[in-house]
Amino acid sequence: KQWYQRRVRGSIKKKLKSLCKKHEKLKPWCKPIVNHFWFACRSCQGNSELLLQIFHSCLFHITRQHSWKSKTVLAGYKHLLDPKKPYPKTFTLVKQCYHRQITKRKNRCTPWLDKKSPDFAALFKMMTNTRLCNDIKKCKSFLHTGELENIH
């Protein structure tokens, strides 16, 4: 399964790199989004719905929204929603970011995105792509052989 997770990670990285050519404001978020994919795989406990909710929660984070109610979280994103896509429509398993409180300095220095900007719309479209969502769901069994490789 690790090869599949690496393939999906590579796919995310490639799509982000391509997106950044047209949307410069996304550049500072590329590496954190890829890292967040690994975090989501590691934290989902074998639950594909939890995996998608954790992964997609970074869409809220980058717009400076760090906690939410499951039914109202997508209210500000209605202009982007497509009922046919397999991304989470409600966030019942994940209701806040997993990070600690953000300092005032970091809050000021972070290039947050506006959820109504074309940059964010492009990122949202990429991250909620049907094929990508289906591929991400298959990564629910996190396997990382790093510790084993260190022994050998």
Residue 31 pLDDT level (bands cut at 50, 70, 90): very high
Q: How does pLDDT run across 36-72, given as a tens digit for each residue?
A: 999 999 999 999 999 999 999 999 899 988 887 765 5
**Euclidean distance between CA atoms 37 and 51, whole angstroms:** 9
Query: Residue 149 has what pLDDT?
Result: 42
CA angle at 140 for the pair 79 and 5, rounded to the nearest 5°: 90
- Mean pLDDT of the 121-148 span: 81
Looking at the chain, the whole-number percentage of residues with pLDDT higher than 90 is 54
Lowest mean pLDDT among 65-69, 81-85, 130-134: 81-85
- Mean pLDDT of the 83-111 span: 82
Chain mean pLDDT for the chain = 85
Statement: residue 108 has pLDDT above 90: no
Tally of CB atoms within 10 A around 82: 10
Statement: residue 146 has pLDDT above 50: no
